[in-house]
Amino acid sequence: MAAATPLDTFDRLVGLIYEGALDEQPWQNALPALRAAFDAQVASLILRPPSVDDHGFILNSVRTDAAPDTTSNKLADPNDWQAIAYREQFFSLDPFIDLPHDKVIALEDLLPDRELTRSDYYLHYLEPINLFRILGVDTAEPSGMLARLRFSRRKSEARFSRKERALLARLTPHLQRAVAIHARLHRTSSERDVYAGAVDQLLVATIILDERGRVLTTNEVGRELLDAGQGLSVRNDCLHIDGRDIHKELQETLTTIIRAQARGETSIVRALRVPRPDGRPDLGLVVRPVPAAQRREGNASPVAAVFISDPELQESTSAQSLRELFDLTPAEAKLATLLARGLSLADVSAEQNISQHTARAQLKAIFAKTGVSRQAELVRLVLKSVASLA
């Protein structure tokens, strides 16, 4: 088998750097490969620098004495003494930070060896972990995420060569782009989780279907509803509604949406009522198209979003949030919460073990604080407030 050429090595490292933005643990394969390519004892990627109030986010790959020439996709334990000590204390002494972006620099370029060996950073941190030579580069993506890549060697090992510096310089633009991809994916994922959590809190089941009516994803409320088998289920990976006529109507709705999107038209939103076999209140179901900008070419693309409400599910309005929103007392917030759940004033009195006179006095105080004058208006105000998202 032919030995890998420098170009082969470069191509492999570039591929791993881009794949690292998608890894379950960021750059879990790239960092060990980079450490081996630079013949370093430690390779570190700092994605969020430590500070007094923040331990930051640092990934390390460490060469082991037992198998110095092998690599694995296991990064070093973030709870190792070296990592903890740097994050909690020695980051403030590190002289090798805030480098000019995209410029490869070695520690000796900034600090002569003699001066380094006299520094507290070396005496209390680098020397105990047997590190001395450091090569690094800082880069940042447009939205501000900073990445610091560092390679460290022992004092007995050679300085990083011009060839190694040149290799790192060639890799840096790819690292910058990969970090930008990672940052964008991370932000999108965070936003999605926030929105999904809000829908879950509002107790709205959400089911995403593809062009064949197959279920792609569901939220937690949707999974519970499907598992219960009360009018809705999944059969052969497709959403199924009990009852031939209503199921046919769902299929026709999906067909209408798919055809309209194929023609570039805006398809209408459809609402359906789903009867349940045991006489419980019907489910309310809304089918709407997935915005074209959020779709992708090919099969199994999201085409329709199905939103389902169950009248029997009670929104978990936060009494604490109502207190903060409307300056209510704990007793007033509890009363408002129970009224929003459909209880009458008499029911609330019995559940709270208070007289109806006391309940009416609390309700009057709530009206004064919220600016409403009727119980129905108060219920609507509570249900439309952000307290249910707390």
Model confidence pLDDT, tens digit, residues 237-250: 988 888 888 888 88
SS3 386: helix
Question: Domains in the chain: how many in total?
Answer: 3
Residues 122 and 269 in one domain: no
**Which position has the higher pLDDT, 278 or 128?**
128
Is the Cβ–Cβ distance between 13 and 30 less than 8 Å?
A: yes
- Tell me the average pLDDT across 73-78: 79
**Which position has the higher pLDDT, 113 or 274?**
113
**Which position has the higher pLDDT, 13 or 271?**
13
pLDDT band of 27, cuts 50, 70, 90: very high
Most confident of 120-134, 282-296, 320-334: 120-134
Dist. CA 134–CA 110, nearest whole Å: 11
pLDDT band of 3, cuts 50, 70, 90: low
Q: Examine residue 73 and state whether it is found in any structural domain, yes or no.
A: yes
Q: Examine residue 196 and state whether it is found in any structural domain, yes or no.
A: no
- Tell me the average pLDDT across 74-87: 84
pLDDT over 90 (residue 304) = no
pLDDT at res. 315: 59
Nearest to 171 by CA among 5, 3, 33, 22: 33
- Tell me the average pLDDT across 98-113: 94
Q: Is 20 left (phi over 0), alpha (psi -120 to 50) or beta?
A: alpha
pLDDT at res. 44: 95
Is the Cβ–Cβ distance between 137 and 103 less than 8 Å?
A: yes
Containing structural domain, residue 73: 6-190
Q: Which two tokens stand for residue 173?
A: 């633009």
Q: Examine residue 1 and state whether it is found in any structural domain, yes or no.
A: no
**Which position has the higher pLDDT, 229 or 332?**
332
- Tell me the average pLDDT across 332-351: 88
pLDDT at res. 1: 42
For 77, 148, 160, 164, 269, the CA distances from 111, given in Å and listed in that order, are 29, 18, 15, 20, 66
Task: List, for residues 161-180, the tens digit of each pLDDT value.
Answer: 999 999 999 999 999 999 99
Q: Examine residue 122 and state whether it is found in any structural domain, yes or no.
A: yes
pLDDT band of 316, cuts 50, 70, 90: low
Three-class DSSP labels, the chain: CCCCCHHHHHHHHHHHHHHHCCCCCCCCCHHHHHHHHCCCCEEEEEEECCECCECCEEEEEECCCCCCCCCCCCCCCCCCHHHHHHHHCHHHHCCCCCCCECCCEEHHHHCCHHHHHCCHHHHHHHCCCCCCEEEEEEEECCCCCEEEEEEEECCCCCCCCHHHHHHHHHHHHHHHHHHHHHHHHHHHHHHHHHHHHHHHHCCEEEEEECCCCEEEEECHHHHHHHHHCCCEEEECCEEEECCHHHHHHHHHHHHHHHHHHHCCCCCCCEEEEECCCCCCCCEEEEEEECCHHHCCCCCCCCCEEEEEECCCCCCCCCHHHHHHHHCCCHHHHHHHHHHHCCCCHHHHHHHHCCCHHHHHHHHHHHHHHHCCCCHHHHHHHHHHCHHHHC
Residues 371 and 232 in one domain: no
Average pLDDT of the chain, as a whole number: 85
Share of the chain above pLDDT 70, in %: 90
Give the up-direction half-sphere exposure of residue 176: CA atoms within 13 A in the CB hemisphere. Answer: 17
pLDDT band of 317, cuts 50, 70, 90: low
- Tell me the average pLDDT across 95-112: 94
Residues 74 and 100 in one domain: yes
pLDDT band of 302, cuts 50, 70, 90: confident
Which of residues 152, 169, 190 is at a domain's end? 190
pLDDT at res. 164: 96
Return the percent helix, strand and coil in the chain, to nearest 5.
45, 20, 35
Dist. CA 100–CA 96, nearest whole Å: 11
Which of residues 167, 190, 213 is at a domain's end? 190
Residues 305 and 326 in one domain: no
Residues 16 and 137 in one domain: yes
Residues 352 and 227 in one domain: no
Share of the chain above pLDDT 90, in %: 38
pLDDT over 60 (residue 66) = no
pLDDT over 50 (residue 294) = no
pLDDT band of 78, cuts 50, 70, 90: confident
Task: List, for residues 194-240, the tens digit of each pLDDT value.
Answer: 777 766 666 788 898 887 778 998 888 888 888 887 788 898 898 88
For 42, 51, 199, 273, the CA distances from 285, given in Å and listed in that order, are 56, 49, 15, 6
Is the Cβ–Cβ distance between 135 and 165 less than 8 Å?
A: yes
Q: Examine residue 197 and state whether it is found in any structural domain, yes or no.
A: no
**Which position has the higher pLDDT, 43 or 76?**
43
Residues 15 and 164 in one domain: yes
pLDDT at res. 364: 94
pLDDT band of 111, cuts 50, 70, 90: very high
pLDDT at res. 142: 82
Q: What is the CATH number of the domain that holds 279?
A: 3.30.450
Most confident of 57-71, 104-118, 241-255: 104-118
pLDDT over 50 (residue 37) = yes
